Amino acid sequence: MSGTGSLEPASWDSRRTSFGSVAAQYAALRPSYPDDAVRFLLGETPRRVLDLGAGTGLLTERLVAAGHEVVAVDPSAEMLAQLAARLPDVVLHVGAAEQIPLPDGEVDAVVAGQAAHWFDPASAAPEIARLLRPGGVLGLIWNARDERVPWVAALGELLSDEERGHEADQTVVQRFAHVLGATDECREFTIVQTVEPEQVVAGIATRSYAAIMDADRLDRFLGRIRDLLATHPDTRGRTRLELPYVTAAHRLVPA
């Protein structure tokens, strides 16, 4: 069973390969990850870690800051170029989760930030198991907008049709746990981005469903977001916004 959720295979494939076209914006506008979440996934002792689907290195940066030795793999050379500019000492490989270009027993942990919903667990889980040393862990982590905040809930409602079947498909965690025979411990953390209204709009434009829109449709779509931010009582007239996220971190320990 693949990670397509409710998407048609062609749509899913075009979305998961769309990020190269927005790599620079992605690096500048997407949120980072809480350091507490990294400690939960990996502990305090430095490890050799594979960041799988590393993208522009938002999670990689936090792994390196925590003292881990990191190898980064992503299918997009454009995304990895952004990572290299940020973290020139990290070893990079272009590759997919279903065929990881590393030797057996290479790492103590594999992590994926905002990426595992694009993996096919049936193929990717055996690859991850092949790479992990005894006692290794798989850490899967996602940021989701905190819709307990009214204006963020209104934004989520506006985006709901486009986001359907996308990152919210957390059943991928259960599929990885099943194939690996792993336990799954999950904890939630929080992080807040301080952004300008136009940065909220530009950040939405880095989402896969926006990246594959034609220019006219994208303009109309982003225009609706601008209208919301200009008229909602919690955002109207404000030049800086606090955009909160809830971070779900899953720590899978294979049998």
Identify the CA nearest to 76 among candidates 90, 62, 57. Answer: 57
In a domain, 226, yes or no: yes
Give the total number of structural domains in the chain. Answer: 1
Q: Residue 128's domain is classified under what CATH number?
A: 3.40.50.150
Residue 205 has a pLDDT of 85
Residue 170 has a pLDDT of 62
Residue 28 has a pLDDT of 63
In a domain, 210, yes or no: yes
d(CA 183, CA 252): 5
In a domain, 3, yes or no: no
Residue 182 belongs to what domain range?
9-253
In tens digits, the chain (255 residues) has pLDDT values of 334 444 444 444 544 444 444 556 655 667 889 999 999 999 999 999 999 999 999 999 999 999 999 999 999 999 899 999 999 999 999 999 999 999 999 999 999 999 998 899 999 999 999 999 999 999 999 999 999 999 999 999 988 877 655 444 568 999 999 999 999 999 999 999 999 999 999 888 877 777 778 889 888 989 999 999 999 999 999 999 999 999 999 999 998
In a domain, 159, yes or no: yes
In a domain, 77, yes or no: yes
Question: Which run of H or of E encompasses 130?
Answer: helix 121-131
In a domain, 1, yes or no: no
- The token duo for 240 is 């800086």
Residue 203 has a pLDDT of 87
In a domain, 241, yes or no: yes
Residue 73 has a pLDDT of 98
Q: Give pTM, 2 decimals.
A: 0.83
Q: Give the contacts of 166 (CB within 8 A, at least 6 positions apart).
A: 5, 7, 15, 117, 207, 208, 209
In a domain, 163, yes or no: yes
